[in-house]
Amino acid sequence: MSQKNPTKVRIELKERSYDILIGNGLLEQSGQILKNMFPRARFAIITDTNVAKFQLPRLVKSLDEAGLNHSTITVKAGEASKSFATLEQVLDELLLAQFERSDIILAFGGGVVGDLAGFAASITKRGMEFVQFPTSLLAQVDSSVGGKTGINTKRGKNLVGAFHQPKLVIADLDALNTLPKRQFTSGYAEMAKYGLIDDEDFFFWLEKNHIDIFNHSPALSKAIASSCKAKARFVIADEKEAGMRALLNLGHTFGHALEAITGYSDRLLHGEAVAIGMVLAFEFSVELGLCNSQDALRVKRHLQLLSLPTMLSDMNDVDLTIDGLMQAINQDKKVKRGKLTFILTKAIGKSFIEHNVNPDRLIEFLRKKLNS
């Protein structure tokens, strides 16, 4: 379905400013959009095996119709592709094809592809421009916006990377039609996060409208635009996460630890890890006397209603230990001079940054959760 006037969200970052376009039929319009923006560029499409099968023909047709020169680099689908090995593959193919610094990388896929392609763009020939084409809900509401790029290592998630803003984000709602329900639900967790951080009204709206969102009604477009506007506020205020932007990591310290323990495999998708992490953040806040238990239960019940995991016991097939969890948590990027930093909360919509979490209290809390 074509939409001539997509919703536009502006990320104002002076010379690095860009637009997020949200709507139906945008892949069909993308060739002309890119031709207008970059009339003399070649385009390197970086995608994964799943997106190449279901969505790539739409993008290629649009680029061909606009007369644009392009080639495609395809990586294996899944979180495991955010690795040094896959990054080396992508860089080698970019250099082999003799892409120039003035050419454009198109990150065509979910969060994994966006992070990987964006990082490749940031370091190829000391910096190429790139455009985000997020094809998953998680990428459309979160990872494609804000310029965080990178890969995982055996020491932890996203520990190698760079801040590198895209020139444009094109979020075609039609791309979500082929997304498996589990992937869609995973993305919903990141959407709910924005309400839990500082917008209780948005979380309440999600509670009332989640069925329509999952049915791909107009509520979906509204939810994505609201999420992008929320993220834009944080990115504009704190582009390189020196302060308040860290609030966007609600649930991520716990979540990233769980992803590392499961080897960044399909056993636990990113949004699923974040869902568990957000509930743990609320419950840890209750444990510390910061938040009432009713709010924590409300969050947990809403995420459970959508079949998202919310407890460590949902991972009883995984070898979770205090030592393993603490080792992964201590690798978190927010750790400063050995001090644990968590995003905690006083209520739904009232999250805050706590820079000096007592590790003994955390260990005690985790022990209770592992034994419950």
Neighbour count for residue 44 (Cβ, 10 Å): 25
Concerning whether 252 is annotated as a catalytic residue, the answer is yes
Q: How far apart are CA 112 and CA 158, in angstroms?
A: 11
Candidates 28, 79, 129, 190; catalytic one: 190
Candidates 157, 193, 210, 256; catalytic one: 256
Question: Residue 343: beta bridge partners?
Answer: 353
Candidates 28, 93, 241, 259; catalytic one: 241
- Residue bearing tokens 């979770």: 320
Alpha helices in 14-131 (DSSP H): 26-37, 49-54, 56-65, 84-96, 111-123
| E-state strands within 135-291 | 148-153, 156-163, 168-172
Q: How far apart are CA 333 and CA 346, in angstroms?
A: 23
Candidates 70, 82, 148, 302; catalytic one: 148
Concerning whether 70 is annotated as a catalytic residue, the answer is no
Concerning whether 190 is annotated as a catalytic residue, the answer is yes
306 and 328 in contact (C-beta within 8 Å)? no
Helix (H, G, I), strand (E, B) or coil at 74: strand
Q: How far apart are CA 275 and CA 250, in angstroms?
A: 10
Concerning whether 270 is annotated as a catalytic residue, the answer is yes
| Cβ contacts of 307 within 8 Å, gap of 6 or more | 185
Candidates 231, 300, 302, 333; catalytic one: 231
Concerning whether 231 is annotated as a catalytic residue, the answer is yes
Candidates 14, 40, 126, 208; catalytic one: 126
Candidates 164, 193, 245, 300; catalytic one: 245
Concerning whether 164 is annotated as a catalytic residue, the answer is no
Candidates 157, 167, 193, 270; catalytic one: 270
| Strand ranges across the sheet with 70-75 | 7-11, 18-23, 168-172, 129-134, 104-109, 43-48, 70-75
Candidates 252, 302, 333, 369; catalytic one: 252
Q: Give, in order, the Cα–Cα distances in Å from 324 to each of 27, 90, 260, 285, 342.
A: 43, 32, 10, 22, 18
Candidates 50, 152, 158, 249; catalytic one: 249
Q: Give, in order, the Cα–Cα distances in Å from 10 to each of 6, 56, 73, 79, 89.
A: 13, 26, 29, 29, 33
Q: How far apart are CA 78 and CA 205, in angstroms?
A: 31
Q: How large is the greatest C-alpha to C-alpha distance in the chain, in angstroms?
A: 62
Q: Give, in order, the Cα–Cα distances in Å from 231 to each of 60, 107, 198, 215, 354.
A: 30, 19, 11, 24, 20
Give me the active site residues, please: 126, 148, 190, 231, 241, 245, 249, 252, 256, 270
